[in-house]
Amino acid sequence: MSTIAIAADHAGFELKQFIVQHLTQHGYTIKDFGTHSADSMDYPDVVHPLCKALGNNEFEKAILICGSAQGVAITANKYPFVRAAICWLPEIAKLTRQHNNSNIICLPARFINPADAWECVELFFATAFEGGRHQNRVDKITNLAC
């Protein structure tokens, strides 16, 4: 199994710990970019290093968590090779992999229960990109000339 990168801010710390525990139980190796406590911190401080590692091909996919998932998604999507998707329902996690070839799942810790978050993560990592008609759309994401 591959190594999974994960990071969270203080609002996502508890959910991150829950997800890490489940990933470890399922045989994944984890690279935890932090935070390592529930003390207040700024999410860009963990998102940027994770995204840089993703860009260096250290990981294929990653998990980001904050209170609403908005902040981590906005920050991650500044990188041209990132397709970070906010997921709060399993069907969204599945569709973002199938249709958008998303490589980072962003979980809203204040708006999702741990069991649903885990189901989203499982589907995100188990679902393949469909390609085909979706590839053209994905290619246009970073093509600013469209």
Q: What is the 8-class DSSP label of residue 23?
A: H
- With respect to residue 121, please indicate whether it lies within any of the assigned structural domains: yes
Active site residue 66: yes
Query: Is 54 exposed, middle or buried, given 0-12, 13-18 or 19+ CB atoms closer than 10 A?
Result: buried
pLDDT one-digit tens code per residue, 80-111:
999 999 999 999 999 999 999 999 999 999 99
pLDDT one-digit tens code per residue, 12-54:
999 999 999 999 999 999 999 999 999 999 999 999 999 999 9
CATH (domain of 96) = 3.40.1400.10
Catalytic entry in 10, 22, 48, 99: 99
H-helix or E-strand containing 52? helix 44-55
Active site residue 99: yes
- With respect to residue 91, please indicate whether it lies within any of the assigned structural domains: yes
Report yes or no: 47 and 76 within 8 Å, Cβ to Cβ: yes
Query: Per the structure, how many domains does the chain have?
Result: 1
Domain that includes residue 77, residue range: 3-141
- With respect to residue 82, please indicate whether it lies within any of the assigned structural domains: yes
Catalytic entry in 66, 87, 106, 120: 66
SS3 of residue 98 by DSSP: helix
H-helix or E-strand containing 108? strand 104-108
pTM: 0.95
- With respect to residue 146, please indicate whether it lies within any of the assigned structural domains: no
- With respect to residue 40, please indicate whether it lies within any of the assigned structural domains: yes
